[in-house]
Structure 1
Amino acid sequence: MSKPINIQEKFSRFSDHWHPHQIATVDNMQVLLAKISGEFVWHAHEEEDELFYVQRGTLLMHFRDRVETVNEGEIIVVPKGVEHCPKTVDGQEVQLLLFEKLSTKHTGDVQHEKTRSSYPKI
């Protein structure tokens, strides 16, 4: 049975950066919440697109040929196979909602200390 999900309440349940938490699944897709700060890892997802929705803060999505600024209330879709590196401005905390396939690996084929192999369900 489906019930409303309070996104702000879910964000209040964790504080760690770069560690997404799953709040829902839709067919073979998952809805994740993440708090980020600083710079992530250059990576790509060869078979999956990713959607980033900025709930709070400003996301700088770095691509090899440009940087896109994604403000609160905006989304950006990173197409499959495109190398990217999310960053924040001056260590600011950014709250993200992500929508991606269940098969999407956190950092693609790149292994890094920030890589997570599973996401807690909250």
Structure 2
Amino acid sequence: MLAGPVDTVHFMEAGEARDELQQSNHGLHSIIGYNTIVGAGTGGAICVVGPFLNHSCNPNAYLYWNELLEVMTLHALTPIACREGITIDYLDDQSTYPTADQRNATLKEN
């Protein structure tokens, strides 16, 4: 994904409709699995932005669930030039600094 206009993805509230959607179709389950951003809380979203973001161990952006707006928001960590790729850290665990082998093992698991 390249720097450009702001996109927002609305959250599907927990409940019967979301449960039925998740169980109704194995194909949809695959789509959700490949296009989901894992967060610290509960809930789920099919993200149209996430699949276009590349991983970097030194990312220039991060994803954040904005409770006030009820959307997933993308924030720059550094200035991003026009046509520069936007990258995030797929690994989620910012509390430690794993080795390259540990990062690769985590990426293979996910």
Instruction: Name the TM tier (shorter chain).
Output: under 0.3
Q: So what's the TM-score if we normalise by structure 1?
A: 0.22
Give TM-score, length-normalised by structure 2.
0.24
Identify the structure with the greater helix proportion: 2
Q: Which has the higher contact order (CA 8 A, sep 6+)?
A: 1
